Structures are given as structure tokens and as C-alpha cells.
Structure 1
Amino acid sequence: MTNYSFSTAPNRRGTNSYKWDNAPSDDVIPLWVADMDFQTYPGITEALQRRVAHGIFGYTRVPDSYYEAVCQWFGKHHGWTINKSDIIYTTGVVPAISAVIKALTLPGDQVIVQGPVYNCFYSCIRNNGCEMVSNSLVIYDKEDMHYDIDFDDLERKLSHERARLFILCNPHNPGGRVWTRHELTRIAELCRKHNVRVVSDEIHCEFTLHNNRYTPFGSLPDELSYGSITCCSPSKAFNIAGLQIANIVCRDADVRERIGRAININEVCDVNPFGVEALQMAYSDGGAEWLAQLRQYISSNYDKLLDFFNKHLPQIPVVRMEGTYLAWVDCSALNYTSEEIEERLLKEHNVWVNAGCMYGKEGEHFLRINMACPWERLEEGLRRIAAGIEAMAR
């Protein structure tokens, strides 16, 4: 067994990093956009170096071994049997969701989400001329601080005559829930009852904290999941978003054909050779070993973050995270909007976090903090956040 260290990370400034090189000064600690500061699994780097040595980077054919890697990974690690013929490759999960909406709706149709939720859901819905409807997640217990689904409200939204799609985020970004099989089954039953199709974004599926377990929506019984669409990618887990590779999994052949046409209409049907190579190496035994150690490190970062907030910012509750590497904190005790808090932390304290309002009205008084970096860096970022919040609270 190889032991990997995540306590240090290379300098990313000057590499055209979206996360780092957009900062207004070199003293800023960026804890915002969802990519990690860790280098990827070394096996991926080695595979890419071999491919680069060839020196020709023309149009790429996706080989059988690519599909076999996807099927083997989800079967072995998540108990989900995928057939090769059910997979459509594309450049990313966001283009995938946009193409699915284009394929399965008409302008004016309703698409249901669960706010607060990943901001690109909103733009995908809007860009396809559909109406966004939110089945807002709720926190019933302010002591426990975790999100639940309001199933009564969900059924009301699903029963609307123009409701066509339900976009699930599993695990949920930014709320941190890893939905249980029971919760997924209730969602599936309600969607089947009202003839609304489920589209599940499972890009964060590998990031479960501690002993939480991810359940693929597509692994539910056939009568509940057959017509669903799952969008997944190794990009978050292995920090390879720039290689632009993702998959759509759908067992319904007619629906899959419609999605395939939309992928072509949106011109996101060609992938680059590095993404193809990287996915196959990521979904290997070595990749699984590296990922298990990374999850342990991020789980430790989360525990330390909780301890920091309890000691230094007890008035700012942290939502209980079961998955992702994105902490979600409630700043409603402050008399500022989330945008104002983000701006002041960046300008006055040189730490960059995400304002919760970008994830919908439900996130107005929240901040999202990226924990996927060495603890020493995260700790310094938290100190700056604490200094900023203390100044705003005075």
C-alpha cells in the first residue's frame, strides 16, 4: 500500500488557475470554487505523460476500455450495475444537464430543483427556456443543523401540469447531504406517480465523509430508476475538471437517443484524449486507494473546521456535512447579506469564500467554504474568516 500525503500542495499561482489567478492580490487565500489544491492521483499524471510523449493530439476515439472502467468502478465501489450501451460521454456534467433539459422539455415547462443548490442548475434551466421551481430544503432542528426534504411540498410541485423534470443533487452541493436509499426511494415513487423524470447530478459521489455511504439513484429497483438519467464524472474526486470528461447514464433507449441528439445540437459530443486516459486511470485499484486516503484527510479537515467554529465562532452554525468537501455555514446572526460578507472578507481580510445567495434564495445568509486544501492553509483561511466576522459583529 502506498501512503499519500495531503499536508502540502504546490503553488498554483501563475498557472492560469481559475481559483487562484482570479484573486485580486497574492495574499488572498481562495476557499471558493470547487476544485482542490491537491495534486491528482500520480497514476493519472503518469498516464498523461505517456500520452503527451506521443506528440499527436488529434480527434479521439473512446475505446471499449473506457466504458469497462466506468462499469467496473460503479459496480465494485457503489453496487450499481451499468451496461456499456447505457453510457453517453460528454465534456462535463453541466453540458450534460443542459443537453438533458433540451432533450426532454419544451420552453415553458417546469424543472424542479432543491434550493439551495448548485448555481449552474439555474442557468441550465433558464438557457433552455424552462421555469425553475424550488422544492426548498429545510432545517427542522437548529441544534442538529442538517437538511431534510419537504416531501409534501415536493409532491405539490411534482403534481403541476407543466412539471417535467426533477434535478437531484446527490450528494447535495452545497447542503452536504448524502441522500439515503429511503429518501431516494420516496423521491422516485413521487416522480413516477406524477410522471416527472429524475435527472441526478452525482459528480460529488466519491466524497462521502466518515462512514456516510452514497447510493446511486440508478441503483434503485428498475421500476423506480429505469427512466432516470445520471450525470457523473471523476473530475471532482480526482481534481481533473480541466480535462473535461463526464458521462450520462440512462437505461431507456428512446430517452438516450433524444439526449444523444441534444448532445450533438449543443456541440459537446467530442472529448479530448487526456480526459479519456485520465478517467481510465482514475477508475483503477490504485485510484481507489489514493481516493480513500484523500477522503480520510478531508474528513479530518471537516472535523477540525467544526472544532474551530465551535471555539471561535459559536454564533455561526455549520450545517452537518455528510458529503462533498464544501462546508456550508449559517451567517444569519450577522446583519449583512452573504454578498456583503463575501466582499468584506475578500477586500479586508484576504480570504475568498462563496456567497450563499448564488445558490438560490435559500442560501441568502450562508457562506460556502472549500475544505480541499492542506489543513495549515485552511486553518489560516478560517482565522481570517473569524477576524472578519468578529469585525462585522461589532
Structure 2
Amino acid sequence: MKYDFDRKVDRKQTNDMKWHSEAVASYLHREIPEEMIPMWLADTDFACAPVIVEALERRVKKEIFGYCAPMKSFYQAVNYWQKMRFGWDVKAEWITYLPSVVAGINIAVRTFTEEGDGVIIQQPVYDPFATIVKNDNRKVVNNGLVIRDGRFAMNLEELEMLAACPENKMLVLCSPHNPTGRVWTKEELTAVAEICLKHNVMIVSDEIHGDIIYEGHRQYPILSLDERYEQNFIHLTAPGKTFNVAGLKGSISIIPNKDIRDAFVKTQTAMSLDVKNTFGIEAVIAAYSPEGAEWARQEVAYMQSNVDFLEEFVKENMPGASMIRPEGTFLGWLDLSGLGLGDEEIFKRVVLEAAVICVPGPWFGPGGEEHLRINVGCPRSMLKEAMERIRSVLYR
């Protein structure tokens, strides 16, 4: 079956916050035009995979929605997916159901660090990383990305120094990286893991975009690279980004070390984050199937063509602007520093005048200045209209 990713779904008829100006205004603390094109929230605008829709319809017809728990089919689906996609044989007892990957990061920070400890993140990075660390009264320690040979890269020399500080207890890794779209190589991930093992720094790896990888690149779950890593680190993932089911609150932690897993689950329970979502369980099982895999393959191919369009559009129509091509994720990281406008003027023109809702670069921390994150997980016509609007206000 060939799936239609050009078809537009009217999300204004739902309570999806991405498409409601009131929700956007609350998020950005500004009044937002009704005729906006929302390219901000990291979900896609494609109709959900039919295999998931059908599974949810079957579950609705059972007419009762009490408390649920993952059963054998859930664990088999997670194992199937990890083995099929990444060659990683994940045991059922390693798996814990979570409401979200962000919740998993919060649980890990609270469990394995203490107030005042340093948590290393690699900015510019998904802004909840820093927010969680600050809200938990830990210290944000930035191991900022650098650009080498036209690609974003980790500063491993600095990471070694930061990891050697006894007060820095954890690294929250974004793999693939949001917002830059870097897909880390096996060699890079091994280097990071060895540094953290050497200095007893726990890695919590957010791999929620790990299924969205473009040609020429490969995703490696960091825990899968060495049995020693399985005993020291935490893997977090979900079908939410790939299949656009984030609202069903079905995410996963994979923690092979029983002592680490037991401590993690103890905090999860104390935070009342252990209740499972009836439909989230069904969505995971349906997504992590051969039918889900084929749908995801076609979706990623479509989004790669959107990346091609975006890259070409910026080169041909936006002098002074640039974009390092993403290797994965459905996110474009636009560098507008060559326009000399400054962050406030960029925000004013793009978000308030053009009504294209992108996430301002500074929200991702140092290195995000005069950048915008734009979501390419949408029908091509929507992406084209958004870029035409952006061009018109930046070069008026």
C-alpha cells in the first residue's frame, strides 16, 4: 500500500494544541494571528498510520476503559522493533512503560543525582532538558556543540574535562539531536560512552527521534554498542514522533541493570507517573509491527524529500541564511545570523507578521542565537507556503 502524505488533515477540528492560536499564544507569551501556519510543536501533520487507527477502533469497541497494564504482546512489540530496526535484543524485564520521554528524564535526574549536582547537556538542545535540571535544583552544565567540517559535532575534549568533575553526575544525550538533526556515528557514541564510564557519569539517552533517519546515516542505540553500557546507562524512546501519537502517552524506558531499573521505578511510582494509558499501550503494539514499519519507511522517505525542498529553497531564495542539512528527525535548524536582524526582529517578522510559528533558537540555549527550528513533518504544500511567507518578511 502506498500512503498519501500530501493529504491535509484539518486539525482545527480537534483539540490539538499545535493548531489553536490560544495554545500557541500561551506558549510564546504573544498574541498569535489566526491564519498561522504552525511549524513549532514537534509532532507531524500526517494522518496517523492506518494500523494504529484500526487498533484503536477495535479497542474502543470493547466498551470499557479501566486501568490497564502492558501484557506479553506489548513487550514482544518493543523487542521486535528494537531487533528489526537496530539489531538489539531487548529483554522484556528491561522495559518500563512511561507517559513520556521527558518524564523519564525527570525521573532519572531525581533518582540518580542530588540537589546541586551537575547534569551535562549539549546545547543548543531540546529546551526541556535545561528546564528539568533547573526545576530539580540541579546545575546545568553545557557541553556545547561545535561545527566541524560543515557538521555539528560533540566537543569530546571538553566533555572529558566536565565528566572528570566529581559533581557532574549525569549526561542527558539527545540522539538523534534536536534541533540540529545530527545522527551520531558509532564512533562518536562509543567515545562518549567510554568517557562517561571512565568518570562514573550516567548517560540518559533520549532516542525518541531514532526511527527518523535519512539515507546515508544509521541510528545506534548507545546501550546496544557494548554490554558494559547496558549495565550503566538508560535508554528512553517512544513511537510518539515517528507515528504522531504523543498524545496517547505511550513511551518506554529500557534499563538492563536491575538495580538501576528498580531505583528508577521506585521514583516513577513516588511521582505518580506509573499509571498506564489504555490507548497508549495499543498504539505501541500497533506501531511496532511490520505494517507500522512499512508506513514509517514511506513517511521517512517523504520527509527526506521535504528536507531536499527546504535545503534547496534556502539556497536559492534566502541569501545570508543557511541550514546544515539534518541527517535525521523532522526538524530543520535555520541559521539566519547572516541577515543581521537579531533574535527579536526575526521573531517579530516570522512569527508575528508572517504567522509562521517556529521555535526561536535561543530557547535551545547557547548556540541557538538567530536560529529558528522549523518542522518539516507536514504536507509539502504546507511547508512551501510557510517558506514563502518567511522569505517575504525577511527580505522585504
Gaps of 5+ in 2: 25-31
2:15 maps to which residue? 16
Q: 2:93 aligned to 85, 94, 98, which one? A: 85
What is the Cα deviation at residue 336 of structure 1?
Answer: 3.3
TM-score by length of 2: 0.96
Question: Could you say what the CA RMSD is over the residues aligned between the two structures, in angstroms?
Answer: 1.1
Deviations 1:153-176 (A, max 9, x none): 111111112010011100000011
Residue type matched to 2:43 in 1? Answer: D
Q: Using the alignment, how far apart are the partners of 1:364 and 1:176 within structure 2?
A: 17
Could you tell me which residue of structure 2 aligns to residue 235 of structure 1? 240
Which amino acid is 1:61 matched to? A
Is it true that 1:316 corresponds to 2:321 in the alignment?
Answer: yes
Partner of 1:263: 268
Unaligned runs of 5+ in 1: none
Q: Is the 8 A contact 1:338 1:367 kept in 2?
A: no
1:117 is aligned to: 125
Cα distance in structure 1, aligned partners of 2:345 and 2:86: 41
Where does residue 245 of structure 1 map in the other structure? 250
Task: Give runs of aligned pairs for residues 129-208 of structure 1, distance below 5 A.
Answer: 129-141=137-149, 144=150, 146-208=151-213
One-letter amino acid matched to 1:11: D
Which residue pairs with 2:42 in the alignment?
34
**1:250-296 Cα distance to aligned partner (Å, 9 max, x none):** 11111111100110121110111100001000000000000000010
Amino acid paired to 1:386: R
Residue by residue, what CA displacement relative to the aligned partner does 1:227-256 show, whole Å, maximum 9, x if unpaired? 110110000000000000111111111111
Deviates most, 224-233 or 243-252? 224-233
Aligned match of 2:28: none
1:334, distance to aligned residue in structure 2 (A): 2.8
Kindly provide the amino acid, as one letter, of the partner of residue 349 in structure 2.
R
Kindly provide the amino acid, as one letter, of the partner of residue 99 in structure 2.
T
Q: 2:289 aligned to 284, 299, 303, which one?
A: 284
Code of the aligned partner of 2:289: S
Residue 220 (1) aligns with residue 225 (2): yes
Partner of 2:107: 99
SS at match of 1:95: helix
- Give the 5 Å matches for 1:327-346: 327-346=332-351
Q: CA deviation at 1:339?
A: 4.5
Residue 268 of structure 1 aligns to a residue in which SS? coil
- 1:181 Cα deviation from its structure 2 partner: 0.5
1:129-162 per-position Cα deviation (integer Å, ceiling 9, x unaligned): 1101010000134xx2x20111111111111120
CA offset at residue 226 of structure 1?
Answer: 2.2
Q: Is the 8 A contact 2:222 2:229 kept in 1?
A: no
Letter matched to residue 128 of structure 2 = C
Kept in 1, the 8 Å contact 2:346–2:370? The answer is: no
Determine whether 1:364 maps to 2:363.
no
Q: Secondary structure at the match of 2:147?
A: coil
Runs of 4 or more consecutive aligned structure 1 residues displaced over 4 Å after TM superposition? none
Cα deviation, residue 28, structure 1: 1.0
Cα drift, residue 128 of structure 1 = 1.5
Counterpart Cα distance in 1 of 2:229 and 2:248: 33
* C-alpha separation in 1, matches of 2:343 and 2:59: 44
Residues 36 and 239, structure 1, Cα contact 8 Å, conserved in 2: yes
Matching residue's letter, 1:80: W
Equivalent position of 2:81 in the other structure: 73
Measured after TM superposition, the shift of residue 310 of structure 1 is 0.6
* Cα distance in structure 2, aligned partners of 1:62 and 1:286: 20
Look up the SS of the partner of 1:230 in the other structure: strand
How far apart are the structure 1 equivalents of 2:37 and 2:77?
36
Q: Distance in 2 between matches of 1:238 and 1:355?
A: 25
Residues 185 and 224, structure 1, Cα contact 8 Å, conserved in 2: no
Q: Give the Cα separation in 1 of the matches to 2:7 and 2:316.
A: 25
The Cα offsets for residues 9-41 of structure 1, whole Å up to 9 and x where unpaired, read as 211113121111135333211111101100111
**Pick from 386, 391, 395: which aligns with 1:386?**
391
